[in-house]
A and B are shown apart, each in its own frame.
Chain A
């Protein structure tokens, strides 16, 4: 059976070039970079090489601004906790209602620790109004954390402008950029962004590696204390194969941005046009302000998990924001923040394309999904009018 992997916002296939680059560090080059001998020392050099590559991909000024750690979630947690620790006299956090759980769960926890958190709303298209951010700012805000692109809808947020607003009030600015990297060019030097989080497995490196950008000159408090690794900013023996992989993946991501913006965007648009022919369907998220490969689309009167099970039968991997798939009993917090009507929110599907998708993948979805929806609508007591 043909497998169509259309869930690249969840995770991506490790690129063969990435696997080749990391392989020696899983086999013969197993030295510890902290060791005094040359066998370990040479491994230390490849870490610095990877750091350069990640810095270049992000448009950072200096490689020392990059700290390697275990994943996007650790990066988000480290960034926000560090910002709070270095702005001790300030007790407020501003974020959005549509953040990834890596940020939202932490913020809810921080509320219990006594911080005041303001969750900015988004409009029906999923867009943020920067006036809401301006209204939320005062000299008590320690950190503003706004994602660069939403994982469910693909909607992009004006983080460069938001960072300027944060700085006007003396707050630090953090962005979760795990979804945007490799899809939209980034040039951190030209922005006020202080802290930025990325994750390896979203850009064709393996799981278990991430990075945090910390603007040069910013104060920083590490979250994981230990040895002197990463200049004392993240204790623990380096995940050398992961770091090498992230470096290679970052390098490749720069080369593939054009492909994402043209070919991958065309795949997404073709699927979108075809699926919108299905009656009672709507796209969730601003169609003009989105990641190029993401399509979040809802079909009324059918439920997301049921569609996913049937798609799985024909080899298609996608995801959904329905209650039965969100691990709770309510549809995804992102779709609720957009105000997607419940009848549509339960029937949402997310397709996310990337480097390895092609026209045949889109054809397979266009052939198989409409009959699945038709069949589930036959079973459903609710029908299109």
Chain B
């Protein structure tokens, strides 16, 4: 099947930057394997005094997007301190490439893993110690550990099994681990690590901050739950502390709608502001 690659992906595939190995590298990160179909070896040179990555090179076995993601990664981390570099997430790599097809997101995850491995190698954190953190292998087809799964699911706020396979490959082989993946996914969806911190711990909100917090709360916490029951809501207006929504799908006209709106209002009051007033606009 022909992939719809961005111009930047093509550019970094056909003219990759920083191919090879840094001589006398200070840190090396090797991830993936030939059996899995992609592998990346990242070497970095680090200035001991400033912690700045002065050079980075890669060697990659893999498809077009794996090579492009590796090339982009080296460009993104050169000149950064180790701590700054570690802030580069897989999503950042994908974004810098002008996006990756969903099925290819695991290529950006591989880049991020190689970076971590190279920094750990430089800092003397042994792969064994690191492996312990990673926990047991859940997907045996692609050797994906529980630690990696939890990390990637949380960092990218993955919401479906398909997402997990696209980002980590787990579940893409024999499928025997699907049940365990479901459990991890369920845990993530219930924990909702994206829950915004309650108001108590926050500075008073500006108008703009309040609007974006309300939107975030509705999008990440409320709508997914309504959508499970084939319902949804639309945000109609935010005027100061007055929030207006419209219920759609199964939620519109649902006999439990009163309970639902009460629950939404409670959430808004808890997270955003105790003085929030929720209004439901009825369909004409």
Interface of A toward B, CB cutoff 8 Å: 301-306, 309-310, 313, 322-325, 327-331, 342-343, 346, 378-382
At the interface, yes or no: B64 with Cβ under 8 Å from chain A?
yes
Report if A330-B34 is in contact (Cβ < 8 Å); known contacts: A313-B14, A381-B60, A382-B61.
no
B122 in the interface (beta carbon within 8 A): no
Q: Which 10 A-B pairs have the closest CB atoms?
A: A329-B172, A381-B59, A324-B63, A305-B63, A381-B41, A342-B35, A323-B37, A380-B61, A343-B34, A346-B37
- Count, A-B residue pairs, CB within 8 A: 72
Q: In the bound complex, do residue B172 and residue A328 qualify as a contact, i.e. CB atoms below 8 Å apart?
A: yes
Q: Count residues of B near A (Cβ-Cβ below 8 Å).
A: 28
- Structural contact, A327 and B19, CB atoms closer than 8 A: no
Q: Is B39 an interface residue (CB 8 A)?
A: yes
B45-67: CB near A (< 8 Å → 1, else 0) gives 00000000000000111111011
Distance between Cα atoms of A301 and B38 in the complex (Å): 10
Given known contacts A301-B61, A330-B141, A309 and B13 CB-to-CB distance under 8 angstroms = yes
Report the separation of the CA atoms of residues A309 and B5 in the bound assembly, to the nearest whole angstrom.
11
Which of A329, A379, A381, A382 has a CB less than 8 Å from the CB of B169? A329
Q: Which of A302, A331, A346, A379 touches B16 (beta carbons < 8 Å)? A: A379
Residues in chain B near residue A309, CB distance under 8 A: 13-14, 64
Among candidates B1, B3, B37, B66, residue contacting A329 with C-beta atoms closer than 8 Å: B37
Known: A301-B61, A379-B16; 6 extra A-B contacts, CB below 8 A, are A309-B13, A324-B64, A328-B172, A342-B35, A378-B19, A379-B19
Do A329 and B30 contact each other (CB < 8 Å), given the known contacts A305-B64, A343-B35, A381-B40?
no
Q: Which residues of A contact B59 (CB under 8 A)?
A: 379-381
Residues in B with CB closer than 8 Å to A378 are: 19
Q: A329-B142, A379-B59, A381-B61 are in contact. Are A301 and B13 (CB under 8 A)?
A: no
CB-nearest residue of chain B relative to A378? B19
Q: Does B98 contact A (CB under 8 A)?
A: no
Q: Is the CB of A379 within 8 A of B67?
A: yes
Taken together as a complex, chains A and B put the C-alpha atoms of A380 and B32 apart, in Å, by 12
Which B residues touch A330, using CB under 8 A? 37, 141, 172-173
Pair A381/B39 contact, Cβ less than 8 Å: yes
A374 CB, min distance to chain B CBs, angstroms: 13
B243 to chain A, nearest CB (A): 43
Contact of A325 with B38 in the complex, beta carbons under 8 Å: no
Q: How far is the CA of A379 from the CA of B169 in the complex (A)?
A: 23
| Set of chain A residues within 8 Å of B60, measured between Cβ atoms | 379-381
A118 to B13, CA, bound (A): 43
Give 22 pairs: A residue, B residue, CB < 8 Å, sorted on A: A301-B61, A304-B63, A309-B13, A313-B14, A322-B37, A324-B62, A324-B63, A325-B1, A327-B1, A328-B172, A329-B37, A329-B165, A329-B173, A330-B172, A346-B34, A346-B37, A379-B19, A380-B59, A380-B60, A381-B30, A381-B39, A381-B59
A302 to B66, CA, bound (A): 12
Q: Which of B114-146 contact A (CB under 8 A)?
A: 141-142
The interface residues of chain B lying within 8 Å CB-to-CB of A382 are: 34, 39, 61
Residues facing A in B147-196 (CB within 8 A) are 165, 169, 172-173
The residues of A that contact B63 with a CB separation of less than 8 Å are 303-306, 322, 324
A301-B173 contact in complex given A309-B13, A380-B60, A381-B40, C-beta closer than 8 Å = no
Please name all residues of chain A whose beta carbon is closer than 8 Å to the beta carbon of B41 when the two chains form the complex: 381
Q: Which residues of A contact B14 (CB under 8 A)?
A: 309-310, 313
Closest to B19 in A: A379
Docked Cα-Cα span, A304 to B59, in Å, equals 17
In the assembled complex, how far is the CB of residue A302 from the closest CB belonging to chain B, in whole angstroms? 7
